[in-house]
Amino acid sequence: MTINPSKSRGHSARVARARVGYLLEVPALLALGAIAIYPLLFNLWLSTRNDVLINPAATRGVGLGNYVTLIQSATFWHDLGRTLFFMVVSVTLEFLVGLGLALVVHREFKARGLVRASILIPWAIPTAVSALLWKMFFDLRSGFVDFALHSLHLPGSQLVWFNSPTLAWVPIIMSDMWKNTPFIALLLLAGLQTIPQELYESARIDGAGGFQAFWAITLPSLRPSIMVALIFRTLSALLVFDAVYVMTGGGPGRATEVVAYYNWSKFMVSLNFGYGATIAVSITLIALVLAGLYVRVLRAQGGLSA
């Protein structure tokens, strides 16, 4: 038997094409390596060192020493508790409001495109800017919140919101909701649009009411979108920093101090890069655990085919 020359030529052409393919991937891989993988590994390495910039002579490896310090730090656990509180409250509220918004803009009405576009505006504004805006809104002398409460004879006027350990959370959560609810609404709207209209029609023929249809068709069909939205929001709520930094600086006292703020202060106030890296790695691990839990729930409910 003779080797078919055209076949061998085809083979080498395929190899050449594959080589070009790999070559074209190189820049992307390098970029990914430089901005994601290298920092992650570097950070992991840094977390095993005593590296305080103001004391360069004491730089040395300490194994898991920083992690022991972290586990024994009451501040860290308090801050983590506050972060989880913020996460649960803000994500729940954002989800409920976002679902409502998605259902509304899913309907046919005049100027729907305009409304859809405009609910996205807050999402396009940088977090630090929206936090600054909300800080001003809640200012006793110049903010509209006090003015509105006063004019409507509602309780809460003449309050210095940021001077109360509990009320200081209200502006923080409000600004977070204002910015992130549109994101959830957008994801859920995309999910709503994939639900076949026939399902609703046959439900109606079977005599289901609006609420029943929502419960039996809309929600189950939306589950994958809901999960994606919740994972994204939960993880970014875990990392909440800008709003706290801009609005309260973790205050009053340390009533609104969250883990990302603790992390920042170890890096930039204490210049303790080793311990700072340890906190960062720990937050990453917590995020991974949370993401893993979500994925499990999603798989268990058949929302994710894996």
Partner 1 sequence: MSVSSYRTLGAIGAGLMLSVGLAGCGSAPSASGPQTVNLVFATQGLGTEAQATATAVKGFEKLHPHIHVTIQTMSASSNQAYQSLVTDLTSGSVTPDVITSDVIWPATFASAKWILPLNQFHPNLSAFFPGMVQASTYHGKLYAMPWFINVEGLYYRKDLVPTPPTTFSQLAADAKSVTASHSGMIGLAFEGAKYEGAVTVFQDVSGGFGGSFLNSSGQPVLNSPQNIAALTWLDNAIKSGIAPASVTGWQEGNVQKVFLSGQAVFGTNWPYLYPLAEQSGSNVIGKVGFVPTPISGSGTPTASLGGDVLVINKNTKYPKQSWELLQYLTSASTMTQRALISGDPPARTDAYTSTLLSKAPWFKQEETVYKYATPRPVTPLYPEISAKIQEALSATYSGQETPTKALNAAQTAVKAIIAKGG
Angle at 112 between CA 106 and CA 116, to 5 degrees: 75
Q: Distance between alpha carbon 31 and the CA centroid of its chain, in Å?
A: 23
Which of 7/141 has CB closer to partner 1?
141
d(Cα 143, Cα 227) in Å, to the nearest integer?
36
Q: How far is the CB of 284 from partner 1 (least distance, A)?
A: 6
Pick one of 38, 77, 85, 144: the residue that binds partner 1 (CB under 8 A): 38
Total residues found in the chain within this entry = 306
Q: How many residues bind partner 1 (CB under 8 A)?
A: 47
Cβ proximity to partner 1, 116 vs 254, nearer residue? 254
Residue 191 Cα distances to 78, 102, 181, 199, angstroms: 37, 9, 15, 15
- Burial state string for 56-81 with b = 16 or more CB within 10 A and e = fewer than 16: eeeeeebeebbbeebeeeeebeebbe
Query: Which one among 185, 276, 290, 298 touches partner 1, defined by CB under 8 A?
Result: 276
Query: Kindly report the CA angle at 149 between 145 and 153, in degrees rounded to 5?
Result: 170
* Residue with Cβ nearer partner 1 (100 or 165): 165
One DSSP character per residue, 80-91 reads HHHHHHHHHHHH
Q: Map residue 249 onto helix, strand or coil.
A: coil
**263 part of the interface to partner 1, by CB under 8 A:** yes
31 binds partner 1 (CB under 8 A): no
Q: Which of 3, 26, 152, 269 binds partner 1 (CB under 8 A)?
A: 269
Question: Residue 83 CB, nearest distance to partner 1 (Å)?
Answer: 14
End-to-end Cα spacing for the chain: 45
Span 242-261, contacts to partner 1 by CB under 8 A: 248-255, 260
Please choose, out of 80-88, 122-130, 225-233, 281-289, the segment that lies near partner 1 by the rule CB under 8 A: 281-289
Contact between 182 and partner 1 by CB under 8 A: the answer reads no
Which 121-150 positions form the footprint of partner 1 (CB under 8 A)? 139-141
Residues of this chain that interact with partner 1 (CB under 8 A) are 34-35, 38-40, 42-43, 46, 52-56, 139-141, 160, 162-165, 239, 241, 248-255, 260, 263-265, 267-271, 273, 276-277, 280-281, 283-284
